[in-house]
Structure 1
């Protein structure tokens, strides 16, 4: 594993571990950005925190790494509606900025976060090298 990939893996694991712990510690803080169509919002926030923690730990276990990367990529895709709601409805969260200088890059970065989970976990090497055929 290259130094860059290892650094990205460590950064993602730390990011998702911290985010997951925050979801579990303060689920009410996330409730305002949960879309109205999501059932049982409080339980959903708890479940997302657990998913983030398990994904972070999975990235650190070689035999679980690819599954964790796929799971975290899907997770990042699934939480995109909450990020959209936060931005488009101007939901105020005391801990976060409320300007488009925050929301614009956050929304634009979501596909990069999806790619990073797949790249760091070894699911893809795009755009650098193709995986060897098996």
Structure 2
């Protein structure tokens, strides 16, 4: 009787061990995917920062604008959403076609599909 129970328990242990190994492999694969995505996003941010710096230096060279001017403009834009948090945040609005709520980061109303007007090119 005890031998049969031991065989059953051993089977349960082996099944649990296999499930744990599979879960570990799944977690490692997910972690690797997340790491690749983080590296991709970091590279994209670095590229955008480089282009932004180049554009600012060109503007500064060819105009009378100063670093203080750009810092003041950044602060002004940051405060537009009511929060000074270093982020460009979208705004909630109303669809002109169906009068339902929309968000400026959407390209079209999720209710009726009407295009959403943007205040400026960087509002996405």
Task: Provide TM-score, normalisation by structure 2.
Answer: 0.27
Structure possessing the higher relative contact order (Cα contacts under 8 Å, 6 or more residues apart): 1
State which structure, 1 or 2, has the greater radius of gyration over its C-alpha atoms.
2
**Bigger helix share:** 1
Q: TM-score scaled to structure 1, two decimals? A: 0.26
Which is richer in strand?
2
